[in-house]
Structure 1
Amino acid sequence: MKILTGRAVAGAMAFAAAFIATTGNASAATWPGTPDHVWSKPGVRVEVWEHGDTITVTDTKANGHSAAVEVWVGGKKRWMVYASLGKGSHSTRGANYGGAYDLPEGAEVALNFWGEGYNDGYTDKSFVNDQ
């Protein structure tokens, strides 16, 4: 009985290891490798992967303010995301969320981002999506 139990445990562990190795963050497949664009200013870092329309905002300063990014297309705000859990926290959105997160191909995408409070000023950057 001990041998059978040991084999069952070993089999279960092997299955679990294989399962963990083949799963993970599904959104990671949409933004592998080096970002196409990286911008930062005090308190915030923004990374953009055009393929997958993926944008990450990271809070880089323990200053009591969240880091945030607004995404604009055609003069209209499409969406906004915050990294609000303190220094080192980040939030990511991309086309895999659907709707407004799926940015139009060939469109100019403008980003407004800040990390020391909106009233302390934001930075504007833009790129042409998937060009």
Structure 2
Amino acid sequence: MACPALPLCPLAITEAERGISDLLKRFRSVFEKVGLPYNESIVVRVTGCPNGCARLYMAELGLVGDGPNSYQIWLGGTPAQTSLARTFMNKVKIQDLEKVFEPLIYSWKLKRKSKESFGDFTNRVVRHISE
């Protein structure tokens, strides 16, 4: 899910709706690269500003526009939207997203508990790293 962002919203500072299909293709490429099955998925939401119109603060992986072609990364929401995400990184340039996500996705593949969602995994593992 993505908010309309540029060019429709005067608050947007980067792309969301117009860029989400490309972002999802890039995430799927990371899945393929690390060897995850095609039926695996992550709830991804993108907004062009911090207002959160696409409810990204509940997504397993949220991207919040924090500058031109730059995003703040939020992790830890759950597929059923019963948990809030937390800030993971700031000012990640769009061309560097794979550098951030590939190690996370690979760790999820190797270290998750049986059928553990990406959001639950990041709550369990990444939270302890950032504390």
User: Which TM-score applies when normalising by structure 1?
Assistant: 0.29
User: Which TM-score applies when normalising by structure 2?
Assistant: 0.29
* Structure (1 or 2) with the greater strand fraction: 1
Query: Which of 1 and 2 has greater Rg?
Result: 1
